[in-house]
Amino acid sequence: MTQTRKVDIVFTDRDLWRIAVPLVIERLLITTVNLVDTIMVAQVGEAAVSAISLVGTANALFLTIFMALASGGAIVTGQYLGRRETEKAGMSGGQLLLFMLEVSLLIMGVYYLAKPFVIGKVFGAIEPDVAAYASTYFDIVTLSFPFMAVYNAGAALFRVMGDSRTTMWVSLMTNVINAAGNAILIFGFGMGVAGAAIPTLVSRAAGAVVIVALLRRPGRTLQIKTASLRHDRKTIGNILRYGIPSGVENSLFHVGKILLLSTVALFGTASVAANSISTTVTSFHSLPSEAMGLVMVSVVSRCVGAGNMERAREYGKKLMKIAYILMLCGGIVIRLLLPLILRVYNVSPETEGYVRILVTMYIIFGTLFWPSSFSMPQALRAAGDARYTMTVSVVTMWTLRVGLGILLGRYFGLGVVGVWTAMIVDWCARSILFITRFRGTKWETKGIKE
C-alpha cells in the first residue's frame, strides 16, 4: 500500500535554485573536462583515440545501467524522506550501496570473460594496434566498474537529500584527478593508453570512497550508519521496480543511438564529422535541462512520499519553467558562438554547412521539446511511473528516431539532416505523451510498496 497520510513539503524558489545550480555546474564541468581529456589522449595517436572511443562507447552502456539503478534507489529513499521516515531512508540508502556493489562486481566479472568477444567481434575488423590499445584500456578501466556504480548510488542519494553542492565538489575532485593524471602519465611518463586508463580508475575509486565516507558522517538528512551485508527484500524489490524499467529504457536508447551512428557513417566523411561536432556542441545546450531532470527526481520523490501530489505537480511545473528558460538562454549563447566554434574546428565548407543546419535545428526544436521529452518524465519516474516512461521511450525511439531516421536519411536522400529530423519528431511524440500523462492522475498511484 502507498502512503495516505499527507505531509506538507515546501521548497522555496531559492531551495530549487540551490539544488539546480550546482548540478548545472557539475554537468558543465564534466563535459568540459572530458573534452580536454579527449584532446590530451589524442596526442598518443589516432589508433589510441580509436581504441579508447570503442571501449568507451561499449562501457557507456553499463554506465547507463548503473545510473538507472542508482536513480531507482534514490527514488525509494526520497519517498521515505518525504514520509519523515529517516531510519528507513538510511536503511534503503545502505541497501542501494550494497546492491550496486554486488551488481557491478557481477557485471565486471562477466565483462572480463566476454573480452575476446567484445574486442574480436563487437568492435569488428579493427587494426592490430587498435586492438592492442583497446585490450590495455579494457583491462584497466573495467576494474573501475564497482567504484563507478557505488559513486553513482552515493551521488543520487545526496541529490535526493537536496545536497547537490557536495556532489558537485566530489565530481570536480574526480575530474581534476583524471585530467591531471592523464597529463602526468601521458606527457610526463609516456605511458600512452595506460596513462589514460589508470587515472580513470584512480579518480573513480577516489570518488566512491569519498562519497561513501561523506554519507556516513552524522548530522545529515540521510545517514548510512552501518554497513550491513544483509538484504532487505522489500527494499531491493522497490529499487528493482523503479530501476529495471529505467535501465532497460536507457540501454535500448543507447543501442539505438549506436545504430544511428552506423547509419550516418554511410553518408560520407562530411556527414560523420558534422554529426560528431553538432552532437558535442548541442550537448552543452541540453545540460541545464538534464540538471532539472535530476532536481525533479529529488523534489518530486519527496513530495510523493509525503502523499502531497499537489506539491509534486506544483514543483514539477515550476522546474519545467526553469528548464525552458535555461534552454532558451543557452540556445541563444550557442548560436552566437557558433561561428567561433566552427573556426576552432577548421572543417570543410560542406561540413560547416551541415553543422550550421543541425545546430540551428537542435536549438529551435530542442528549446521547444527537449525539456518535456526528457526532464518531465523524471517527475513521472520519481513518482514510480517507470514502466510508462520506459514503454514510451522505447517505442518512440525505435519507431521514430531509428526507423524514421533510416527512412528519411537513406531512402528519402536527406542524409544526416533526415536522421536529425527524425530525432525531432521523436521529441514531439514523447512530449505529447508525457505531458498528457503528467496532466492525468494515473502516475499518482505508483509510490513505493510496503
Say whether pLDDT at 234 is over 60.
yes
Q: Taking a C-beta distance cutoff of 8 angstroms, is the pair 26, 164 a contact?
A: yes
Residue 147's identity, in one-letter code, is F
Residue 114's identity, in one-letter code, is A
* Each residue's pLDDT tens digit, 324-382: 998 999 999 999 999 988 887 777 888 889 999 999 999 999 999 999 999 999 999 88
Instruction: Output Rg (C-alpha) for the chain, integer angstroms.
Output: 22
Say whether pLDDT at 159 is over 70.
yes
The pLDDT value given to residue 405:
94
Q: Confidence band (pLDDT; 50, 70, 90) for 53?
A: confident
Say whether pLDDT at 7 is over 70.
no
* Each residue's pLDDT tens digit, 87-96: 888 888 888 8
User: Mind giving me the DSSP string for 87-100?
Assistant: HHHHHHHHHHHHHH
Highest-confidence range of 100-104, 130-134, 384-388, by mean pLDDT? Answer: 100-104
Give the mean pLDDT of 221-247. Answer: 77
Residue 143 carries which DSSP code?
Answer: G
* Pairwise pLDDT comparison (45 vs 109), residue with the higher score: 109
Q: Is the dihedral of CA 158, 162, 164, 170 positive or negative?
A: negative
Give the up-direction half-sphere exposure of residue 418: CA atoms within 13 A in the CB hemisphere: 19
Taking the C-alpha atoms of residue 396 and residue 342, their distance in angstroms, rounded to an integer, is 32
**pTM of the prediction?**
0.80
Q: Confidence band (pLDDT; 50, 70, 90) for 1?
A: very low
Mean confidence (pLDDT) of the chain: 85
* Each residue's pLDDT tens digit, 255-296: 888 788 778 878 887 887 788 788 888 888 888 888 888 888
The pLDDT value given to residue 2:
44
Taking the C-alpha atoms of residue 65 and residue 67, their distance in angstroms, rounded to an integer, is 5
